[in-house]
Structure 1
Amino acid sequence: MRMNQKYKGIIYIIISAFCFALMNMFVHLAGDLPSVQKSFFRNLVAFFFAVIIMARKRIWFSGKKENIAPLFYRAIFGTVGILCNYYAVDHLVLADASMLNKMSPFFAVIFSYLILKERVKPVQALAVGGAFIGSLFIIKPTVVGMDLFPAVIGLLGGLGAGIAYTFVRYLGERGEKGPFIVCFFSGFSCLVTLPFLLFDYHYMSLSQIGILLLAGLSAAGGQFSITAAYCCAPAREISVYDYSQIIFSATLGLIIFGQIPDWLSWVGYLVICSMAVMMFLYNQKNDRVLKKEGEN
């Protein structure tokens, strides 16, 4: 049963990676619109999808008061992550923006220690440090680098997502259902961004509206899939498969926008993915050792 849950988590996380790659592509295609406006339409679609699923499956809040604060934390940091990611998508090569956002599993390790009090082992600490070094190859921090600001914002997006997914895992373990977590997050994000939309609305053509609706549909698929993934299995067992988004994003960026990341970015991809694989293999080995000890 446990292995079936793990495989389900892997399938869900690969589906989410493809959906989020599509979302980033549509966000970039939508053109010169504020990130807040793009975020609102993305979350509005996800909100209605979540409401429909909740109504069909008769899912609602678990009623546990101790889950209220984590729901808000997940929503706040998730909203920050989306806004930062959308800004990076608009100003960076698609694969670069996606890679910086995929720093989230490493930040999840840090905040699992800080928030959930889970022990961080030396290998995990090494992986986090190595991933940060890899991110510097993508950010390319120079005094005159025009891409420095959006790259740092993209990294902050990964930070926000990492904290948010830590709380997704926390809530999943304490009985909250995925559709409700998505609904709460999407509704919160829409309410937070609505005032900015009302006071600084930018005219959108019919094609832009259609593209943002497609971004919202893709985001809804990605959000439901990744929430289901982290509810099925711990991040340490499945997070490495989330890096398939880089392959999807690089392919879409090349085909649709003709984007080719520079060699420093490729070095950064290699370093970060290597750290992810190293941490994944270490966790697998550690789990096997614990299983044997439990059998004895």
Structure 2
Amino acid sequence: MNKLSSQTIALWLLIAGNLSASLSDVMVKLLDGDVHPFQYIFIRQLISVAVIYPFWRRESKVSRQLHAPGLNLLRAHLVIVGSGCMVVAITHMTLASANAVFYAAPLLMLPLSILMMRETPARSKILATILGFVGVLIVLRPSQFHWAALFALTTATTLALFNVSARKLPQQQSMISTLFWTSVLSIPVATIAAAAYWQPIGFTEIMLIAAGAILILIYNGLAVLAYRRAPAGEIGIAEYSGLVFVTLFGIGWFDEIPDWLTAIGILCIILPLLPIRRPRSLSKST
């Protein structure tokens, strides 16, 4: 029963996180390429540090400490690479198409969870993830391939590594501390990259970046909580829920109406979520 409860909560945490991440994508789309990706990353990470610092200061001394610095440094730079590629992909593709590639991440998480965490996903999870990836291919039909999809694929890879590596974070490092150190450790490289491409920026753009920073912080926090509660191979497919959100946002904000084939692809991506959320008798969680 405990395992069921933990996995169910983890699934809902990821779904809520993907709603937040989808809204962050909307903020990027609204920027419409007016801010350089490196400049966007620098401002977003700086805002992230400012937002989370007061919460970090309220943590216990042990929780505030930086544990496993190498792992945290790696995750910080995965954020830089993934975020930069994400800005390029969303700017030049529709929200649904870009995110269809982003959500190849759960497929990548299966082999990564096996290699990094020694996890053994159930056959049903493997088949469900493959079905989801088939949906991704349907949405992103070869005839509509765009060069920016390569950047989206890089984002998917960094996202998969970021989420799976969360399982290796020390338990004494809290979620707040994890978000804080991930943001802080990304600042030096982000500063150097932004300085090379700096350009004037308006108040509206800063507000959009700030909103995106807060929304992605929410996603990252919920993802850390989710992947600490359950194995990546068990809940990673819940990442696909974001595709529904961005499709709806694309329709509402940008008049990006998906055709019937795209709708079929989205159904293939979403349907595997349903069996995971049905109650089953499971052994006790560790």
TM-score between both structures, scaled by the size of structure 1: 0.82
Aligned residue in 1 for 2:138? 137
Q: 2: CA distance between counterparts of 1:190 and 1:262? A: 41
What is the CA-CA distance between 1:197 and the residue it aligns to? Answer: 0.9
Q: 2: CA distance between counterparts of 1:124 and 1:237? A: 7
What is the CA-CA distance between 1:275 and the residue it aligns to? Answer: 4.4
Aligned length in residues: 281
User: Does the aligned pair in 1 maintain the 2:82–2:156 contact within 8 Å?
Assistant: yes
Instruction: Please give the residue correspondences for 1:186-201 in structure 2 after superposition, counting only pairs within 5 Å.
Output: 186-201=183-198
Letter in 2 for 1:19: S
The reply on whether 1:71 has 2:72 as its aligned counterpart is yes
For structure 1, the 5+ residue unaligned runs are none
Instruction: Please give the residue correspondences for 1:142-157 in structure 2 after superposition, counting only pairs within 5 Å.
Output: 142=143, 147-157=145-155
1:68-117 CA-to-partner distances (Å, cap 9, x unmatched) read 33223322333322222222111111122223222222212110111122
User: Does the aligned pair in 2 maintain the 1:93–1:261 contact within 8 Å?
Assistant: no
The reply on whether 1:271 has 2:273 as its aligned counterpart is no
The reply on whether 1:235 has 2:232 as its aligned counterpart is yes
Q: 2: CA distance between counterparts of 1:200 and 1:264? A: 40
1:61 paired residue among 60, 65, 84:
65
Aligned residue in 2 for 1:255? 252
Instruction: Please give the residue correspondences for 1:198-213 in structure 2 after superposition, counting only pairs within 5 Å.
Output: 198-213=195-210
Aligned residue in 2 for 1:94? 95
Q: 1: CA distance between counterparts of 2:73 and 2:150? A: 25
User: Does the aligned pair in 2 maintain the 1:107–1:162 contact within 8 Å?
Assistant: yes
- Measured on the aligned residues, the alpha-carbon RMSD in Å equals 2.8
What is the CA-CA distance between 1:205 and the residue it aligns to? Answer: 1.6
Moved over 6 A (4+): none
Structure having the larger proportion of residues in helix: 1
User: Greater CA deviation, 178-187 or 22-31?
Assistant: 178-187
1:122-147 CA-to-partner distances (Å, cap 9, x unmatched) read 444444444443332233335xx5x4
What is the CA-CA distance between 1:236 and the residue it aligns to? Answer: 4.3
User: Greater CA deviation, 190-199 or 2-11?
Assistant: 2-11
What is the CA-CA distance between 1:121 and the residue it aligns to? Answer: 4.7
Aligned residue in 2 for 1:83? 84
2:49 paired residue among 23, 33, 47:
47
Q: 2: CA distance between counterparts of 1:55 and 1:124? A: 40
Q: 1: CA distance between counterparts of 2:231 and 2:153? A: 23
Evaluate the alpha carbon distance shift between residue 48 and residue 232 of structure 1 in structure 2; reply closer, same or farther with a 3 A threshold: farther
SS in 2 for 1:89: helix
1:40-89 CA-to-partner distances (Å, cap 9, x unmatched) read 222222222232211012331364xxx33322332233332222222211
Q: 1: CA distance between counterparts of 2:255 and 2:56? A: 40
For structure 2, the 5+ residue unaligned runs are none
SS in 2 for 1:203: coil
Q: 2: CA distance between counterparts of 1:189 and 1:201? A: 17
Identity of aligned residues (%): 21
Letter in 2 for 1:25: V
User: Does the aligned pair in 1 maintain the 2:103–2:136 contact within 8 Å?
Assistant: no
